[in-house]
Structure 1
């Protein structure tokens, strides 16, 4: 998606903050300097700063200017923040936090999905699985279908807060899936694990569904640890999803 002047300005400043070019506690340059540097109006700069405040990256007040906040204030459920972090480089701590979050949220959500999924929910999850299978067998975009599979499970929990979380978790989950996909035969090996989750949800068997998703998540954790140990270049989320070869 092509961003407008406002979006590009937010990206420029957000990337600089997340990359550490403006240290926590430091002030970002004053409006006149940013206007000159970026070739934008004061209105654009002010609106961009408002967006960064909403994302938890900066705080602003009279006489103190606009100051950078430490990363524990950042909104890690904001897709822009995740993309900016991917461009500056994921840390092992970030990726392990992500896996811990999945281990807490997904098993409970999938258990509820096995209890509450409607026929329409199951059709959506099955369609996502079929997309994954085709990508493995014929080549194509595995990651997007993998993301739809997991978001479909969260929606099938029929819990409004988890449904909202499925939207916020999108960029975080894609991070995990891109890394797992980078392993040789990673998607091929994970496909039967996804099938086990789907079959348990179709059977409305909560205990089996929960056990199956834990196996899947723990496998993803092993993939990520292997990739970290290999020091391979990690994916950048501002680029299109990785496609599997035919």
Structure 2
């Protein structure tokens, strides 16, 4: 499970990664519509300045994500959105890059509500004392008054990933990449600044989760996590509406 930071961080990309990112973003962003046939190998190889071998491997990656399907003598066609693997962190990140609406954010929140509160209840049942101590350190550190919005977001992400680990359920740990991609997208829509009141609110809400886990209160941990997700969702929708109406 990712543990070092944000999905799709800027930096050096391989030729394969570049082609996957550019074409995946183009499909999700609508440059290539559902049902469209992608340009041929010659055109795409020239566009990205890569070999046909790299291009074919990139197409296999996009096909594995459910975005396209290759057919002999027809070409590579963009599949309907229902086929796209939204649990894939790249596909989710491309959606946020392309711009999302309130419905999409509600859907992301619903998935988080289906997973993370139960993970919190499992942590209350199974987490070791060391797990709990680590989560408490992370939660308390979220109250550092020197946090910027970006560093607070990173601290928030680290807490949620560690909690999934503390559930001791390997499937929960595996969906960490989904939670990471969702949180990264959410953070992109938050305010560029973090005031002291917001920092305190976020820290206290996460400390409450750990306190319930330490008490081995499964229902309390579940409720505390639900509160964090729901309040975050409300603020996110408000931020999105503000950005939409800003000149």
Over residues 153-206 of structure 1, what are the superposed CA-to-partner deviations in whole Å (9 max), with x where a residue is unaligned? 111111121111123321112223443555764443222111111111112111
Asked if residue 93 in structure 1 is aligned to residue 96 in structure 2, the reply is: no
Asked if residue 122 in structure 1 is aligned to residue 132 in structure 2, the reply is: yes
Tell me the equivalent position of 1:218: 230
| Unaligned ranges ≥5, structure 2 | 1-10
TM-score by length of 2: 0.86
CA contact 1:77–1:169 (8 Å) conserved in 2? no
**How many residue pairs end up in the alignment?**
231
Aligned residue for 2:66, secondary structure, equals coil
- In 2, Cα distance between equivalents of 1:47 and 1:27: 18
Aligned residue for 1:63, secondary structure, equals coil
Cα RMSD (Å) of the superposition? Answer: 1.9
Offset at residue 51 of structure 1 (A)? 0.8
TM-score by length of 1: 0.86
CA contact 1:183–1:223 (8 Å) conserved in 2? no
Over residues 72-118 of structure 1, what are the superposed CA-to-partner deviations in whole Å (9 max), with x where a residue is unaligned? 21122222222222221122221110111111111111111111111
Over residues 5-55 of structure 1, what are the superposed CA-to-partner deviations in whole Å (9 max), with x where a residue is unaligned? 111111111111111011101110000111122221111111110110111
Asked if residue 12 in structure 1 is aligned to residue 22 in structure 2, the reply is: yes
Tell me the equivalent position of 1:146: 156
CA contact 1:125–1:148 (8 Å) conserved in 2? no
- In 1, Cα distance between equivalents of 2:188 and 2:129: 29
CA contact 1:56–1:75 (8 Å) conserved in 2? yes
Offset at residue 151 of structure 1 (A)? 1.4
Tell me the equivalent position of 2:89: 79
Aligned residue for 1:66, secondary structure, equals strand
Which shifted more, 161-170 or 29-38? 161-170
Tell me the equivalent position of 1:207: 219
- In 2, Cα distance between equivalents of 1:187 and 1:232: 25
Q: Is the alpha carbon distance of 1:105 and 1:182 closer, same or farther for their aligned partners in structure 2, counting shifts above 3 Å?
A: farther
Over residues 51-82 of structure 1, what are the superposed CA-to-partner deviations in whole Å (9 max), with x where a residue is unaligned? 10111110112122100012221122222222
Aligned with 2:66 (options 53, 56, 59):
56
- In 1, Cα distance between equivalents of 2:139 and 2:189: 19
